[in-house]
Amino acid sequence: MRLVLLVIAAGLPAYTIGGINGAIITSFGLYRKDIRKFGSGNPGLTNFYRVFGKYGAALVVVIDVLKTVAPVLLGGWIFESFLDVWVHDARFLGRVISGFFVMLGHCFPLFYDFSGGKGVMALGTLLFIVDWRVALLGWGVFIVVVLATRYVSLGAMLGSLMYPVAAMLFVHADIWAVIVALLCALLLIARHHENIRRLVSGKESKLSFGRKNK
């Protein structure tokens, strides 16, 4: 019963804050346009960059990073302070669970009719908070894949799969933390279902490193 209450206490604010969308806020604030009506329609950093260029992209990153950091740190504190010592690392478990709810909020935001982004920045930020070695492996795979293929979606999906793997290898996380980490990766992959279809058909857009702002 205590665990359920802690999940609610950490997960509810994480989901709510996770629904704040940096791309939507920045597109309205700087350009008076709705990013959801341009490009792929996805309110995420990649589509924002493709539509508006680099200007404003930094603000998108700052907003999406902060909305992940605050609730994840809070969730770690809640679990560390109130969970019985039946897990290897209560703080780690709290951060992982809160991170999952941040991703849910980002993907299915209460503020935007439950239609949001794909959770890439949320998960990418979460990796740095839970453990630098987890982040190194996840981001390392992402960067290598993107540089080699220029497919951001492919890099994000393969990088996300490193999360549960790294949690086991480096943190020796409890089975529950590993399961939640796996759910985070599966959620990100599920949100890329259209990208998967385009990758298979050879129609997925590639990232242009020389992209200029319009």
pLDDT tens track, the chain, 214 positions: 688 999 999 999 999 999 999 899 999 988 889 988 988 888 888 888 888 888 888 999 999 999 999 999 999 999 999 887 666 788 999 999 999 999 999 999 988 888 888 999 899 999 999 999 999 999 999 999 999 999 999 999 999 999 999 999 988 888 989 999 999 999 999 999 999 999 999 999 887 765 444 4
pLDDT at 211: 46
Q: Would you say the pTM of this structure is higher than 0.85?
A: yes
pLDDT at 212: 45
- Helices 132-149, 152-166: crossing angle, 10 deg rounding: 150
Tell me how far apart the terminal alpha carbons of the chain are, to the nearest angstrom: 54
Tokens, residue 188? 């990100």
Other Cβ atoms closer than 10 A to 110: 12
pLDDT at 70: 95
CA distance 107 to 169: 28
135 closest CA partner among 186, 87, 171: 171
CA distance 56 to 32: 12
